[in-house]
């Protein structure tokens, strides 16, 4: 019998992060092929009551540590707890979300356990022949997909990119054990003291990290008209970026400029609204996964790089698109 | 064949030189530091008739020739590359095409004030996607009634913002390729025309280099130069002439750097004697001087060929190619011979080195000049 698949449940201020549910979904699927169990590892303060929810989301068992020391993420404390969990239970597989916390925690745990870790995986599957976990991740800026195995050491560890795996539908009839995990925390080893946790206002501009960018060019016409882009961005949970012409006109902050002398972006979706597509702009966005161009001039060079091209007035199209998307997303 | 300048040209050179020493030299450093357009110098140049040297008196010009104009750009550039290119863009790139290709009405309306220096001119061909490949124009001009409606943008336009009149290329017929390009005279005040971003540059920092934006810009039908579809020819011929101006600018920069260096090496002492006593210094200076003289003959040859109405595109290309390379080389050596001081902004040679580089790039890169020269050679 396989020794099980463990999932690190990331919580922030007591709220379980979405990526944890995605990992439970994936773990559940892997457990089916290997005929094993899914264990959720929950660390936090006054958090045990949330264990049930994890069972409904796909865990067979929850191990929790409930203590003041675990209220916030502290690398050393978390590492000690997970190392102890692994030593005691010897799982086959251990999954983390590839978040800032997961990326900090997983390598420390793997080094202390002395096992392999694959970072930022986008695909996980069990190889039928060997029973090994095939961990696939994009390498070299996404140009190569590498599939990595960890044949000898255990557990096989991976951090998994958030948003890639499917969340299971909650099943309230599921039953499972929720157990406290006991171990001896050695506080002296900690070298980090949290002085303050600052919540940055959501509007710190970081267009490079946005999954969706609504980008406006001179064709937007005015600073006020950019509101139409922000409206769409709100609906899609996207950021707004721009061409240099817009920055020069003072309609946008320089931080939002895409292009050779601005930022290079490669979001999943790039809306080019009223952007002609000068090479200095295109060089900064042509690697976006999907490019949708809205321009009233059908001869604009932007259409050469666009996957979807709409010839028309963005002042008319954007509000309609925003409305339609609102309706569609509400249906969901 | 005669390698001495005529009396007239010698007098002209004296005039330009004293103007440069009195008016241009004192401002050169400030204009560079502050990236400031030397508008007061331009006004004085207008007063002295520098803005219309090669045009006939009946069109407001001085009735001079291209050699005289070339010497003017050379002399101005000896101390200030910025002032040199302002005059060159105005004369060669804006007034000239109106003189060569414009109708009588256009000459009266536009050439006369340009040549008198009452108005300043600029030339707009380059676009974000059309630099060396100038035929890849995306700016469009559509005839609607009495007006052409122009849409698009231009970048890197010398005298942008300060110029009153702009020669602008736009596509009137996309399907016709280079034969679909037309040239227009556009006034600063025309509806739908706006000056965009001013570039921050390595050199010639006082010369305003700007983006031009046309948003449904209304241009009267009669402002087209020549016929529809003739714009590319106008542009190419204009650049042939403009290249003599840039060659003269490069020549002037090189000469200026050489003068500074000769002066400096006689004063600076190391190992108990002036550095001019070291043979390396002497040989470097000999090379610099020889190259500058060779460049000068090429530049003057091109100007004289144009004055004689002989084919001169290849001469202009060779002059620009060589003079620009010489300017780059001579200014670099000038900095070297100045030692650490040459690298500081207390001495003018570092500015000259920065100014020199652009002459290898604008009005056709050195590579383009080689295409023109080899095409002439192999035709
Ligand atoms: C040194 C240098 C560096 C540069 N670096 C960058 C850079 O990093 N990033 C960058 O973006 N640019 C850069 N540029 C500028 C670049 O060359 C272009 O000038 C710029 O990208 C043009 O911006 P745009 O597409 O917004 O404007 P435009 O080229 O003016 O295009 C506007 C477009 O909007 C369309 N339009 C107008 N009204 C409407 C409407 N109502 N509905 C729909 N469409 C409409 C028009 O058809 C047109 O295609 C640089 C330029 C230089 C000289
Ligand atoms: C300060 C300044 C002032 C200017 N003033 C004006 C002005 O007043 N009006 C105006 O219209 N323009 C003006 N320009 C634009 C200038 O003429 C262009 O920058 C120049 O022609 C080069 O075009 P590009 O910058 O697009 O370079 P590119 O065409 O992108 O060239 C990049 C490099 O590739 C090389 N290259 C390109 N094609 C070929 C080829 N087929 N074979 C070999 N090599 C090739 C070039 O030689 C160059 O080395 C100005 C530019 C500057 C920087």
Contacts of A245 in chain B (CB under 8 A): 153, 196-197, 211, 213
3-state helix, strand, coil in chain A (%, to 5): 35, 25, 40
pLDDT at A201 (0 to 100): 62
Q: How far is the CA of B167 from the centre of ligand 2 (A)?
A: 18
Token readout for B242 is 């403009």
Q: Please give the average per-residue pLDDT across A296-309, as a whole number.
A: 95
- The yes-or-no verdict on residue A220 having pLDDT over 90 is yes
Q: Please give the average per-residue pLDDT across A307-313, as a whole number.
A: 97
**From its phi and psi, is residue B365 left (phi > 0), alpha (psi between -120 and 50) or beta?**
beta
Q: How many CB pairs under 8 A join A and B?
A: 27
Q: Beta strand A117-121 with A93-97: parallel, antiparallel or unpaired?
A: unpaired
**b or e along B206-226 (b: 16 or more beta carbons within 10 Å of the residue's beta carbon)?**
bbbbbbbbbbebbbeeebbbb
Question: By C-alpha distance, which of A61, A80, A83 is closest to A69?
Answer: A80
> d(Cα B164, Cα B110) in Å, to the nearest integer?
10
Chain B CB within 8 Å of residue A110 CB: no
CB neighbour list of residue B320: distance below 8 Å, 6 or more residues apart = B243, B244, B246, B247, B250, B359, B363, B364, B369
Token readout for B302 is 């091109």
Ranges of beta strands (E only) in chain A are 5-9, 11-12, 15-16, 38-44, 61-66, 93-97, 117-121, 123-126, 133-139, 144-148, 156-160, 177-180, 212-216, 239-242, 269-273, 290-295, 308-311
What parts of chain B have a pLDDT lower than 70? none
Ligand nearest to the CA of B169: 2
Nearest to B197 among A248, A281, A297 (CB): A248
Nearest to B128 among A249, A280, A297 (CB): A280
pLDDT at A163 (0 to 100): 85
> d(Cα A142, Cα A289) in Å, to the nearest integer?
11
The C-alpha angle B240, B242, B245, rounded to 5 degrees, equals 125
pLDDT at A197 (0 to 100): 87
pLDDT at B292 (0 to 100): 98
CB of A273 within 8 A of CB of A219?
Answer: yes
Please identify among residues 210-239 of chain A the ones whose CB lies closer than 8 Å to any CB of chain B.
218
pLDDT at B259 (0 to 100): 98
- The yes-or-no verdict on residue A83 having pLDDT over 50 is yes
For B190-208, the pLDDT digits (tens) are 999 999 999 999 999 999 9
Whether residue B363 lies in the annotated active site: yes
Q: Beta strand B273-274 with B269-270: parallel, antiparallel or unpaired?
A: antiparallel
- The yes-or-no verdict on residue A136 having pLDDT over 70 is yes
B156 lines ligand 2 (CB under 6 A): yes
- A212: phi then psi, degrees, rounded to nearest 5: -130, 130
Instruction: Express as a percent the part of chain A with pLDDT over 90.
Output: 86
Q: Please give the average per-residue pLDDT across A115-140, as a whole number.
A: 93
pLDDT at A82 (0 to 100): 97
Residue A205 — pLDDT band, cuts 50, 70, 90? confident
Q: Please give the average per-residue pLDDT across A243-253, as a whole number.
A: 93
**pTM of whole model > 0.80?**
no
Nearest to A279 among B129, B174, B196 (CB): B129
pLDDT at A1 (0 to 100): 41
Ligand nearest to the CA of A302: 1
CB neighbour list of residue B127: distance below 8 Å, 6 or more residues apart = A278, B136, B137, B138, B139, B152, B153, B154, B155
For B17-29, the pLDDT digits (tens) are 999 999 999 999 9
């Amino acid at each position: 019998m396989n020794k099980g698949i463990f999932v690190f449940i990331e919580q922030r201020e007591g709220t379980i992060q979405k990526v944890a549910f995605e990992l439970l979904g994936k773990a559940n699927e892997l457990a089916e092929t290997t005929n094993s169990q899914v264990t959720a590892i929950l660390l936090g303060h006054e958090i045990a009551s949330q264990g049930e929810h994890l069972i409904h989301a796909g865990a067979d068992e929850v191990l929790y540590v409930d203590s003041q020391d675990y209220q916030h993420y502290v690398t050393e404390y978390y590492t000690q707890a997970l190392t102890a969990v692994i030593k005691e239970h010897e799982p086959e597989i251990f999954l983390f979300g590839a978040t800032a916390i997961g990326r900090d925690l997983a390598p420390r745990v793997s080094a202390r356990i002395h096992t392999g870790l694959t970072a930022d995986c986008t695909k996980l599957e069990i190889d039928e022949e060997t029973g090994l976990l095939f961990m696939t991740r994009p390498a070299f800026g996404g140009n190569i997909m590498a599939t990595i195995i960890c044949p000898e050491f255990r557990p096989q560890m991976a951090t998994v990119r958030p948003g890639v795996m499917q969340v299971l539908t909650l099943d309230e009839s599921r039953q499972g054990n929720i157990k406290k995990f006991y171990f001896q925390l050695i506080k002296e080893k900690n070298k980090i003291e949290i002085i303050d946790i600052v919540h940055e206002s959501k509007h710190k501009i970081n267009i490079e990290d946005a999954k969706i960018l609504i980008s406006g060019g001179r064709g937007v016409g005015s600073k006020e008209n950019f509101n139409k882009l922000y409206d769409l961005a709100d609906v899609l949970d996207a950021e707004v970026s721009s061409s240099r012409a817009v920055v020069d006109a003072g309609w946008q902050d320089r931080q939002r400029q895409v292009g050779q002398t601005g930022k290079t972006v490669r979001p999943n979706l790039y809306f080019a609204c009223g952007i002609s597509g000068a090479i200095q702009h295109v060089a900064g966005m042509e690697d976006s996964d999907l490019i949708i161009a809205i321009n009233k001039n059908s001869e604009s060079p932007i259409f050469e790089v666009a996957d979807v091209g709409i010839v028309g007035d963005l002042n008319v199209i954007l509000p309609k698109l925003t409305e339609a998307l609102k309706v569609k997303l509400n249906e969901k | 064949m005669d390698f001495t300048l005529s009396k007239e040209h010698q007098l002209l050179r004296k005039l330009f030189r004293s103007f440069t020493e009195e008016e241009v030299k004192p401002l050169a450093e400030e204009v560079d530091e502050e990236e400031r357009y030397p508008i007061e110098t331009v006004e004085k140049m207008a007063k002295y008739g520098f803005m219309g040297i090669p045009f006939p008196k009946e069109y407001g010009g001085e009735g001079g020739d291209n050699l005289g104009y070339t010497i003017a750009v050379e002399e101005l550039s000896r101390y200030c590359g910025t002032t040199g290119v302002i005059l060159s863009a105005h004369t060669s790139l804006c007034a000239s095409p109106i003189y060569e290709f414009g109708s009588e009405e256009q000459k009266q309306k536009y050439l006369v004030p340009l040549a008198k220096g009452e108005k300043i001119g600029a030339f707009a061909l380059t676009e974000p996607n059309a630099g060396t490949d100038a035929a890849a124009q995306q700016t469009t001009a559509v005839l609607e009634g009495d007006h052409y409606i122009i849409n698009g943008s231009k970048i890197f336009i010398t005298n942008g913002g300060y110029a009153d009149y702009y020669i602008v290329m736009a596509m009137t017929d996309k399907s016709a390729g280079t034969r679909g390009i037309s040239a227009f005279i556009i006034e600063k005040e025309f509806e739908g025309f706006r000056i965009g971003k001013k570039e921050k540059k390595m050199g010639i920092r006082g010369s305003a280099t700007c983006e031009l934006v046309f948003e449904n810009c209304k241009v009267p039908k009669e402002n087209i130069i020549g016929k529809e579809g003739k714009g590319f020819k106008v542009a190419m011929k204009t650049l042939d002439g403009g290249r003599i101006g840039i060659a003269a600018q490069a020549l002037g920069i090189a000469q200026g750097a050489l003068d500074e260096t000769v002066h400096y090496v006689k004063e600076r002492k190391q190992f108990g004697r002036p550095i001019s006593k070291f043979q390396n210094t002497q040989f470097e200076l000999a090379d610099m001087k020889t190259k500058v003289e060779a460049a000068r003959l090429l530049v003057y040859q091109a100007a004289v060929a144009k004055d004689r109405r002989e084919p001169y595109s290849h001469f202009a290309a060779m002059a620009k190619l060589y003079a620009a390379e010489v300017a780059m080389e001579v200014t670099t050596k000038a900095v070297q011979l100045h030692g650490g001081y040459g690298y500081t902004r207390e001495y003018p040679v570092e500015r000259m080195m920065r100014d020199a580089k652009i002459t290898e790039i604008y009005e056709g890169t050195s590579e383009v000049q080689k295409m023109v020269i080899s095409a002439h050679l192999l035709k």
